[in-house]
Structure 1
Amino acid sequence: IFVSVFSIVLAGGATIARLIFRKTSKMPWLADDYLIIVAAIITSADAACYLACLPFGFGQHMWAVDPALLLTFFKIVFATFILYGAAVSFVKFSVLAFYARIFPRNNFKWWLISLGVASGAWWILITLASVLQCNPVQKNWDDSLPGYCINYLDLYIAIQVLNIVLDIAILALPISTVMKLQMGRANKISVAMTFALG
């Protein structure tokens, strides 16, 4: 919990500082700014869900928690699955919008569009997987209901592998463009590493 809250506070602080800087510098907010605001709001909601789980047995052994509390706990966890996919996707969209602003070349734009579509498809995939992993949907939080659930762990691993591949592709995308800039090799490497590290 502490790590999650600390990460949210750190990321939120960086986002707020960025927006304040643009405002005080009289620079207009652009698409990547609005997208990162949406990502920050969704991420905050996701973190709030984890905090909301605390009174319902989060961090405790399942057999030590009142079954009525567990029902509410799993409903909240179900919501985090939906929020997670949205938050991650909007971060990707913000990064791609930032690239589009600083690298306006046409051939680069098609790579941005392709990765944007792939990121959107990943978002749809993880959302559908989260919602439809159990039939009926209510079985996601109430295992006593008749029905069935797929092996979500294997599916989740496959989805996260796709997520990592997308992240690597997005972070590596501007490197070839940076290496063509008219600057010293050391500066090129420095800028390329900055993009690669996100």
Structure 2
Amino acid sequence: MESFLHTEFFTTLIYTWSQWVIKLSISVLYYRIFSTEKPRKILRWIIIWFVVYGVVNCITPIFCCIPVRKFWDHDTPGYCIEWGYLHYTLSAINIANDFLLLLFPIPILVKLNVSARVRVILVVTLTCGLVYYSPLWQQNVQITDDSTGLQLRLS
């Protein structure tokens, strides 16, 4: 069990960091694509938000247990915060960030001075990420976190 938790700890760090870098790179791509001042101003705030959230999201798993070793070795004296609540909170914010990135370019693309066909192709191309979330709308899921007793019902 200790080796599994040790692996989970480092996998969480790598996964969190990679998501952060992907979101920042997409934001910077949008910044380069949209040349007018209004979208760029909004994107600067989005990038600042992603940097702050990313730092918090990357540091939190490291310090959720003091000492860090307690995360994978429960016999080590120390303290761990409730990982379940933290995990659900950070995940909800992460999903909201994903939707922000997916939906941000749509109003700008709709106003482009190009044919309707080109606009539709651009919007569909940039919102292909919604396919990732489509299973959430198709199933009725009830999740109970055994460590916290927290229940989520997704309908």
TM-score in terms of structure 2 length: 0.76
Q: 1:178 aligns with which of 109, 115, 124?
A: 109
Encode CA deviations 1:106-135: one digit per residue, 9 max, x unaligned.
211111111111111221222222011112
Alpha-carbon shift at residue 163 of structure 1 (Å):
0.7
Aligned to 1:74: 5
Could you tell me how far apart the structure 2 residues matched to 1:123 and 1:98 are? 18
Aligned to 1:139: 70
Q: More strand per residue: 1 or 2?
A: 2
Secondary structure at the counterpart of residue 132 of structure 1: coil
Aligned to 2:35: 104
Any residues of structure 2 matched to 1:11-30 within 5 Å, and which? Answer: none
Structure 1 residue runs of 5 or longer lacking an equivalent are 1-69
Aligned to 1:151: 82
Q: 2:5 is matched by which residue type in structure 1? A: F
Could you tell me how far apart the structure 1 residues matched to 2:24 and 2:58 are? 17
Q: 2:90 is matched by which residue type in structure 1? A: I
Encode CA deviations 1:84-110: one digit per residue, 9 max, x unaligned.
111001111111121122212121111
Aligned residues: 129
Alpha-carbon shift at residue 139 of structure 1 (Å):
0.2
Q: Does 1:119 align with 2:50?
A: yes
Alpha-carbon shift at residue 187 of structure 1 (Å):
2.9
Could you tell me how far apart the structure 1 residues matched to 2:15 and 2:44 are? 22
Identical-pair percentage: 26
Alpha-carbon shift at residue 184 of structure 1 (Å):
2.7
Structure 2 residue runs of 5 or longer lacking an equivalent are 130-155
Q: 2:112 is matched by which residue type in structure 1? A: L
Secondary structure at the counterpart of residue 130 of structure 1: coil
Say what the alpha-carbon RMSD is for the aligned residues: 1.5
Q: 2:61 is matched by which residue type in structure 1? A: S
Encode CA deviations 1:145-180: one digit per residue, 9 max, x unaligned.
122211111111111111111111111111111111
Could you tell me how far apart the structure 2 residues matched to 1:71 and 1:161 are? 28
Aligned to 2:137: none
TM-score in terms of structure 1 length: 0.61
Alpha-carbon shift at residue 72 of structure 1 (Å):
2.9
Secondary structure at the counterpart of residue 131 of structure 1: coil
> After TM superposition, where is structure 1 displaced by more than 3 Å over at least 4 residues in a row?
none
> Is the CA contact 1:75–1:141 (under 8 Å) kept in the aligned structure 2?
yes
Q: More helix per residue: 1 or 2?
A: 1
Q: 2:55 is matched by which residue type in structure 1? A: I
Secondary structure at the counterpart of residue 194 of structure 1: helix
Alpha-carbon shift at residue 182 of structure 1 (Å):
1.4
